[in-house]
Amino acid sequence: MMKIKTGPNPSHLTPFFRADRFVQKLFKMKVKIAFLFMFALSYAFGQSGFGTATFTMTIKGTSNLHDWESTVKELKANGSMTADAATGLQSIQSLTVEIPVKAIKSTKGKVMDNKTYDAFNASDNPYITYKLEHATVSKKGDGYEVNASGKLSMAGASNKIDMTVRGKAESDGSITFSGSKKLKLSDFKMKRPTALLGTITVGDEVEVIFKVTLKPS
């Protein structure tokens, strides 16, 4: 008589498989709960990424003949900041700003623009960049005082820049920063633009005046 071998009764394995599936589901559930907790915690403390919403930036300078002014037409900023609903801006973890050199436009027209681009050696150094290294935030009036330290790179040179900026938390969750900073072209080894066979020379010091609003991204 032929004997037929049979494997274990599937019904005997059902509790094992059910327990195994239960453990897997429990693990997945714990992962999801942990993720939601971390997301909720991040939201509660308000740390998130920010990007450019609006901006104005003007560069003012002098020459031995007349003052001059240029406007920045393009700017990209990205950063990470912490805020909460009760007290607003708490801290700034990171911030980078990038400006195309050829987005700088003078009120004096293309001749001045081209001399500006030559001074930056724009073909080899097409961007001006700023990277925040450290910032402290303190409440002041209806806004905030931000003492920032970072690295400014332009025309192939980089220098540490310290400045005090005013911050304001807007009702839509965005943050507006405004301020000004005086810079010397010679600190970045830039050759000052000239005109009319060198009879007109741009002054070494320029002032950058800005107002930048960053919104949650």
Minimum mean pLDDT range among 82-86, 137-141, 186-190? 82-86
Verify that 204 and 116 share a domain, yes or no: yes
CA distances from 98 to 40, 149, 209 (A): 32, 16, 16
The answer to whether residue 7 is domain-embedded is no
What is the structure's pLDDT at 65?
Answer: 82
What number is the average pLDDT over the span 168-188? 94
What is the structure's pLDDT at 39?
Answer: 42
What is the structure's pLDDT at 45?
Answer: 47
Spatial CA neighbour of 47 closest among 79, 78, 80: 80
Cα 24 to Cα 107: distance, rounded to the nearest angstrom:
67
Verify that 119 and 60 share a domain, yes or no: yes
Verify that 22 and 53 share a domain, yes or no: no
What is the structure's pLDDT at 172?
Answer: 85
What is the structure's pLDDT at 41?
Answer: 44
CATH, residue 90: 2.40.128.110
Look up residue 47 and give its amino acid.
Q
What number is the average pLDDT over the span 79-86? 78
The answer to whether residue 189 is domain-embedded is yes
Q: Which residue has the higher pLDDT, 195 or 75?
A: 75
Verify that 41 and 116 share a domain, yes or no: no
Verify that 87 and 27 share a domain, yes or no: no
Tell me the residue ranges of DSSP E strands in the chain: 48-63, 68-72, 76-84, 88-100, 104-106, 127-140, 143-154, 157-169, 175-184, 194-195, 200-216
Specify which residues 51 forms β-bridges with: 78, 215
What is the structure's pLDDT at 64?
Answer: 84
Instruction: Answer for the pair 148, 179: CB distance below 8 angstroms, yes or no.
Output: no
Residue numbers of the domain that contains 158: 48-216
Asked whether the predicted pLDDT for residue 2 surpasses 70, the reply is no
Verify that 33 and 84 share a domain, yes or no: no
Specify which residues 176 forms β-bridges with: 168, 213
Spatial CA neighbour of 214 closest among 179, 176, 168, 180: 176
- Reported confidence tier of residue 9, pLDDT bands at 50, 70, 90: low
Residue 42 in tokens? 């991040």
Verify that 111 and 166 share a domain, yes or no: yes
Verify that 121 and 211 share a domain, yes or no: yes
The answer to whether residue 94 is domain-embedded is yes
Residue pLDDT, tens place only, 37-62 = 444 444 444 568 999 999 999 999 99
Q: What is the pTM of this model?
A: 0.76
Instruction: Answer for the pair 202, 193: CB distance below 8 angstroms, yes or no.
Output: yes
Specify which residues 102 forms β-bridges with: none
Verify that 20 and 53 share a domain, yes or no: no
The answer to whether residue 203 is domain-embedded is yes
Verify that 136 and 37 share a domain, yes or no: no
Cα 164 to Cα 135: distance, rounded to the nearest angstrom:
10
As a whole number, the mean pLDDT across the chain is 84
What number is the average pLDDT over the span 71-100? 91
Verify that 92 and 24 share a domain, yes or no: no
| Domains contained in the chain, number | 2
Asked whether the predicted pLDDT for residue 124 surpasses 90, the reply is yes
What is the structure's pLDDT at 36?
Answer: 46
Verify that 41 and 72 share a domain, yes or no: no
